[in-house]
A and B are shown apart, each in its own frame.
Chain A
């Protein structure tokens, strides 16, 4: 900023813009006004009503140190396709305060206010940790009737000893639960689709950056594109929803898997088209037939080798009749 611009003189436009913004807000001369980029409608075409609930709880994703540690985590992760790494950094930079609890539905109670249930996108990012030892947790709950915080702290590595009041007959299972969690967590590679980049996946990265360290941090993300059907978006209203169950019944899971693999890269849209499937099926049949014929021939050859070995062990030297029998039995 050149010329006489008061305390903003000498600053770059970018710096001055941010400072003027914060000065105006601090003086009460400005407030933040959010505007949608397009007219928003519900799926049924109705008006969207955004309600701010009284006493709503938020997670503040705008904290500087948290954004920094999340960016570092992203730098160390693997991204397939690679260009989603930058998208993730952008999503982290963009995130601010997000509501994290709701008043109805199923879920875990918010520890500091049990009237609220943790909103699904907020806790779904770290719950896979429980997948690692769910069998042992169920068993422990059967015996103890409850899993209290101090026990969970031991199982998840936040303390080094089993609480004194836990009976000995369940110690072995508790140790196994801790070992299973240690062995399986963190996640080497998480697979999901790109519409989750700015919400679920950004929460996933940031929540892990805040709560975990070392080997418990996520190793990478595979971000896939979407599946369309005969060139059209799949939706209930269009009636073109593809049921995986019906596909596997009609064609088999293997044929569908191979079709998906050869039809599109992970980052490209895959078009489900049953006409194209016939080429994959045709080639699969050829390869299966080849495997079968070759496999049978190999078994036959192995059988002959074994037979020859047995004959040679019994007849020494083999008689001409024995040789003739072996030669006649050999495949052309």
Chain B
């Protein structure tokens, strides 16, 4: 919509045509049914595309949406329910992890047969929550030993995903299919492995 308002027609066309198709493909790869997705967005998608392909849009509008003209239909700004942000954050988190694994593979020249992703355990999750809400004053002695490492990595530590372990566990077969190797998800307890897994910043081991 913003691109249309500013006459950035190329950007608008690419967003409405290629980006929507790519998003559909992505959603399908994550297990969604194309038809059920389309039934949610089809009306708005046809209105958006009618700017660029008016004749075809009119035909499909008449046939499948309603007996009126798409050229007179108005496109409302979508009203978000609130839960979309959480889902988008989770998907971004997932893509970042896949991207990181690919980068590690490229940098080391190793293409793994297995990837172990360790997510932060409850103790560190709770510690980060405390620091974010109250600062470092009320940390117990065990937690305080991790403060220097937390400070060093704080830019990349975040609690944008509520339950990293469940998300990665549910997405295990997707990650495995995307990377072409087996994937194991574990909960890391500090001190057990060389590198500590933090909320939003899991540790990755390629085998």
Interface residues, chain A, CB within 8 Å of chain B? 80, 222, 252-255, 257-258, 261-266, 283-284, 286-288, 290-299
For A296, the chain B residues whose CB sits under 8 A away are 64
Please classify the interface of chain B as helix (H, G, I), strand (E, B), loop, or mixed, using the class held by over half of its residues. helix
Kindly report which residue of chain B lies nearest to residue A268, judged by CB atoms: B10
Interface residues, chain B, CB within 8 Å of chain A? 6-10, 12-14, 17-18, 21, 24, 34-35, 38-39, 42, 45-46, 49, 52-56, 60, 63-65
Q: Of the candidates B9, B24, B39, B46, which one forms a contact with A261 in the assembled complex, judged by CB atoms under 8 Å apart?
A: B9
For B63, the chain A residues whose CB sits under 8 A away are 295
Known A264-B10, A266-B7; judge A298-B17 contact (CB<8 A): no
The 3 closest A-B pairs by CB, nearest first: A295-B64, A294-B38, A261-B13
Kindly report which residue of chain B lies nearest to residue A254, judged by CB atoms: B53
Please tell me if the beta carbons of A287 and B21 are within 8 angstroms of each other in the complex. Answer: yes
Q: How far is the CA of A264 from the CA of B8 in the complex (A)?
A: 10
Kindly report which residue of chain B lies nearest to residue A265, judged by CB atoms: B10
Please tell me if the beta carbons of B17 and A254 are within 8 angstroms of each other in the complex. Answer: no
Q: How far is the CA of A266 from the CA of B13 in the complex (A)?
A: 12
For A266, the chain B residues whose CB sits under 8 A away are 7, 9-10
Please classify the interface of chain A as helix (H, G, I), strand (E, B), loop, or mixed, using the class held by over half of its residues. helix
Q: How far is the CA of A261 from the CA of B54 in the complex (A)?
A: 13
Q: Of the candidates B12, B17, B46, which one forms a contact with A291 in the assembled complex, judged by CB atoms under 8 Å apart?
A: B46
A304 to chain B, nearest CB (A): 14
26 pairs from A and B in contact (CB 8 Å cutoff):
A253-B55, A254-B52, A254-B54, A255-B53, A257-B52, A258-B52, A258-B53, A261-B12, A261-B13, A261-B52, A262-B14, A262-B18, A263-B10, A265-B8, A283-B17, A284-B56, A286-B21, A288-B60, A291-B38, A291-B42, A291-B60, A292-B60, A293-B38, A294-B35, A294-B42, A298-B64
Kindly report which residue of chain B lies nearest to residue A298, judged by CB atoms: B39
Please tell me if the beta carbons of B21 and A283 are within 8 angstroms of each other in the complex. Answer: yes
Q: Of the candidates A252, A292, A294, which one forms a contact with B55 in the assembled complex, judged by CB atoms under 8 Å apart?
A: A252
For B64, the chain A residues whose CB sits under 8 A away are 291-292, 294-296, 298-299
For B54, the chain A residues whose CB sits under 8 A away are 254, 257
Q: How far is the CA of A254 from the CA of B67 in the complex (A)?
A: 21
Please tell me if the beta carbons of A258 and B17 are within 8 angstroms of each other in the complex. Answer: yes
B137 to chain A, nearest CB (A): 53
Q: How far is the CA of A296 from the CA of B39 in the complex (A)?
A: 10
Q: How far is the CA of A283 from the CA of B64 in the complex (A)?
A: 20
Q: How far is the CA of A295 from the CA of B39 in the complex (A)?
A: 7
For A295, the chain B residues whose CB sits under 8 A away are 42, 60, 63-65
Known A291-B60, A295-B60; judge A262-B13 contact (CB<8 A): yes
Please tell me if the beta carbons of A294 and B8 are within 8 angstroms of each other in the complex. Answer: no
Q: How far is the CA of A291 from the CA of B58 in the complex (A)?
A: 12
Q: How far is the CA of A12 from the CA of B83 in the complex (A)?
A: 67
Q: Of the candidates A80, A257, A258, which one forms a contact with B7 in the assembled complex, judged by CB atoms under 8 Å apart?
A: A80
Interface centre among A222, A257, A261, A286, by most B CB within 10 Å?
A: A261
For B49, the chain A residues whose CB sits under 8 A away are 287
Please tell me if the beta carbons of B17 and A287 are within 8 angstroms of each other in the complex. Answer: yes
Please tell me if the beta carbons of B13 and A290 are within 8 angstroms of each other in the complex. Answer: no
B47 to chain A, nearest CB (A): 12
For A264, the chain B residues whose CB sits under 8 A away are 10
Q: Given contacts A261-B10, A283-B21, A286-B21, could you give 20 more A-B pairs where the C-beta distance is less than 8 Å?
A: A252-B55, A254-B56, A255-B53, A258-B17, A258-B52, A261-B13, A262-B13, A262-B14, A263-B10, A265-B8, A265-B10, A266-B10, A283-B17, A287-B17, A287-B49, A290-B38, A291-B38, A293-B38, A294-B64, A299-B64
